[in-house]
């Protein structure tokens, strides 16, 4: 066996206690914001049948073509580590007959996702998202509410330099007509397009708007826009969403070139970016997916949702690391293990945050360690009793076994 030390796989990271505290804060605020709006927590499995993603996210998308962790299990089924959360949530909605619940059904998650992407700052192969999905309403008010909730969450977590871009993809019929129009336009200019975009004219022409190739960008500046091809109903819906966002005081820019790497979106589409981030500036995004539940075999059910990346939120917030949790009591001892352990248990039962010495430090070393841990009290335990040091009052006094909790309760 090689003695080379092993590292976490490329694009993954360990969450150590310092950063765990900040991540818990994200989860806590998400719970507060979303539960107040009627969202209930959902957790789906870390892996699903591969077909769930290839059918919904789209065969021609980057996610399905290049980024999925797909493997056969020992039973020969093709499974995929979830690359996103919306399709699994809709699968669960159908599987559990949630359409029978009063609409809208509102679900949120804080989970990890997996994509085989080029690892760089802010882009990982296992990453965490907070996501929220509302199923069962066409009303533009639920689009606006969903976007406002994402904004509230990002804002409360201190994400700096936020921008919201908004677009509408219209309904599938108008979109496929537009697709043909765009393909015709792109074929006419194919000499000026990047190889990649040219190759994808047939499969995924909309992604041309996403290209960073200068030639392609010049072509796209003159391309027909989906926003100009919306049906009157879709245009009205989009207009209503904008009006409600204005009413909520959430600023946005209309971006006719906004595309996202998933096929299931219809109508409203949005993305939050942060100027505080570098190349990977997307903090969160989402949209409407009115055909997704039906595509998964459920009754036709409209839906809207978003996901925001936990690592990106933390990068955009740049908050100082939180202080370690304070300690009420450190139990020091010099070979009186059993009495010390008893004191520790007693303190814990009384609801105190307590730790005891377990590494054989000298008494002096233990007192230093207690100070480092920020302990308010130190109980120096010997075979015949306890010396209680109060760091705040700078006092020390003897306490009999069994009297410690009472004594602590009596001090202010
Ligand atoms: P998407 O599901 O691609 O719309 O992504 C939604 C959000 O998840 C993005 O705005 C990012 O904040 C985050 N995200 C997506 N992919 C990654 C990744 N590979 N690493 C870290 N965060 C990601």
pLDDT tens string 278-307: 888 999 999 999 999 999 999 999 999 999
Ligand 1: atom nearest CA of 271 is 10
Do residues 60 and 259 make contact, with C-beta atoms less than 8 angstroms apart?
Answer: no
Beta bridge partners of 120: 123
Please give the pLDDT value at position 176: 86
Please give the pLDDT value at position 321: 63
Ligand 1: atom nearest CA of 272 is 10
Cα–ligand 1 centroid distance for 56 (angstroms): 17
**Residue-wise pLDDT tens digits, 54-101:** 988 888 788 888 999 999 999 999 999 999 999 999 999 999 999 999
C-alpha span between 245 and 97 (Å, rounded) = 32
Q: How confident is the model at residue 324 (pLDDT cuts 50, 70, 90)?
A: low
If you write DSSP's letter for every residue of 187-199 in order, what string do you get?
HHTGGGS-HHHHH
Structure-token pair, residue 310: 């936990």
Ligand 1, atom 2, lies closest to the CA of 84
The residue to mutate among 81, 124, 129, having the most atoms of ligand 1 within 8 angstroms of its beta carbon, is 129
pLDDT mean over 359-374: 96
* Residues in the chain, total: 412
Q: What is the pTM of this model?
A: 0.90
The residue to mutate among 307, 311, 314, having the most atoms of ligand 1 within 8 angstroms of its beta carbon, is 307
Cα–ligand 1 centroid distance for 129 (angstroms): 7
C-alpha span between 343 and 89 (Å, rounded) = 48
Average the pLDDT over each of 23-27, 263-267, 288-292, 375-379 and give the range with the smallest value. 263-267
Cα–ligand 1 centroid distance for 217 (angstroms): 24
Pocket of ligand 1, beta carbon within 6 A: 84, 115, 117, 123-124, 127, 129, 260-261, 282-285, 307-309, 311-312
Please give the pLDDT value at position 325: 72
Ligand 1: atom nearest CA of 84 is 2
Residue 412, pLDDT > 80, answer no
If you write DSSP's letter for every residue of 128-159 in order, what string do you get?
EEEEEEEES---HHHHHHHHHHHHHHHHHTT-
88: Cα within 13 Å, side-chain hemisphere = 23
The separation between the first and the last C-alpha atoms of the chain, rounded to the nearest angstrom, is 59
pLDDT mean over 223-233: 93
pLDDT mean over 272-277: 95
Cα–ligand 1 centroid distance for 19 (angstroms): 19
Q: Which of 244, 73, 277, 1 is nearest to 160 (CA)?
A: 277
Q: How confident is the model at residue 2 (pLDDT cuts 50, 70, 90)?
A: low
C-alpha span between 125 and 112 (Å, rounded) = 10
pLDDT mean over 353-368: 97
C-alpha span between 302 and 135 (Å, rounded) = 6
**Residue-wise pLDDT tens digits, 164-210:** 999 999 988 888 899 999 999 999 999 999 999 999 898 888 889 88
Ligand 1, atom 11, lies closest to the CA of 309
Do residues 143 and 304 make contact, with C-beta atoms less than 8 angstroms apart?
Answer: yes
Torsion of Cα atoms, 112 then 116 then 119 then 121, to 10°: -40
Ligand 1: atom nearest CA of 261 is 3
Rounded alpha-carbon distances, angstroms, from residue 170 to 146, 175, 208, 306, 406: 18, 6, 18, 18, 69
pLDDT mean over 107-131: 96
Residue 389, pLDDT > 70, answer yes
What's the mean per-residue pLDDT of the chain? Answer: 94
The sign of the CA dihedral 312, 313, 319, 322 is negative
pLDDT mean over 118-136: 96
């Amino acid at each position: 066996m090689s003695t080379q030390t092993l590292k976490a796989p490329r694009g993954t990271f360990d969450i150590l206690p310092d950063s765990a505290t900040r991540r818990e804060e994200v989860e806590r605020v998400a719970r507060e914001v979303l539960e107040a709006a009627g969202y209930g927590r959902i957790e789906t499995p870390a892996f699903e049948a591969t077909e769930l993603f290839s059918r919904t996210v789209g065969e021609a998308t980057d996610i399905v073509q290049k980024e999925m962790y797909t493997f056969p299990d020992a039973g020969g089924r093709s499974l995929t580590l979830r690359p996103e959360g919306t399709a699994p949530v809709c699968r669960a909605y159908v599987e559990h007959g949630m359409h029978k619940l009063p609409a809208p059904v509102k679900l949120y998650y804080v989970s990890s996702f997996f994509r085989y992407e080029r690892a760089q700052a802010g882009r990982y192969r296992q990453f965490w998202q907070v996501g929220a999905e509302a199923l069962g309403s066409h009303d533009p008010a639920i689009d606006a509410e969903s976007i406002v909730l994402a904004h509230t969450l990002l804002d409360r977590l201190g994400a700096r330099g936020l921008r919201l871009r908004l677009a509408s993809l219209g309904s599938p019929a108008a979109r496929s007509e537009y697709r043909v129009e765009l393909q015709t336009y792109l074929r006419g200019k194919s000499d000026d397009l990047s190889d990649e975009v040219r190759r994808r004219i047939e499969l995924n022409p909309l992604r041309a708007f996403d290209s960073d190739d200068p030639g392609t960008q010049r072509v796209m500046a003159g391309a027909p826009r989906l926003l100009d091809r919306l049906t009157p109903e879709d245009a009205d819906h989009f207009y209503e969403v904008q009006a409600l966002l204005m009413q909520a005081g959430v600023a946005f820019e209309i971006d006719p070139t906004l595309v996202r790497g998933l096929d299931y979106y219809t109508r409203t589409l949005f993305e939050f970016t942060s100027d505080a981030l570098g190349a990977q500036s997307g903090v969160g995004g989402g949209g409407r997916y009115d055909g997704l539940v039906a595509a998964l075999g459920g009754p036709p059910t409209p839906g809207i949702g978003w996901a925001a990346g936990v690592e990106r939120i933390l990068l955009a917030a740049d908050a100082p690391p939180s202080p370690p949790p304070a300690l009420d009591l450190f139990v020091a001892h010099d070979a009186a293990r059993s009495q010390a352990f008893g004191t520790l248990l007693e303190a814990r039962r009384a609801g105190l945050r307590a730790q005891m010495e377990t590494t054989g430090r000298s008494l002096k070393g233990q007192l230093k360690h207690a100070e480092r841990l920020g302990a308010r009290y130190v109980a120096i335990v010997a075979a015949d009793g306890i010396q209680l040091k109060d760091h705040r009052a700078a006092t020390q006094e003897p306490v009999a076994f069994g009297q410690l909790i009472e004594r602590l309760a009596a001090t202010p």
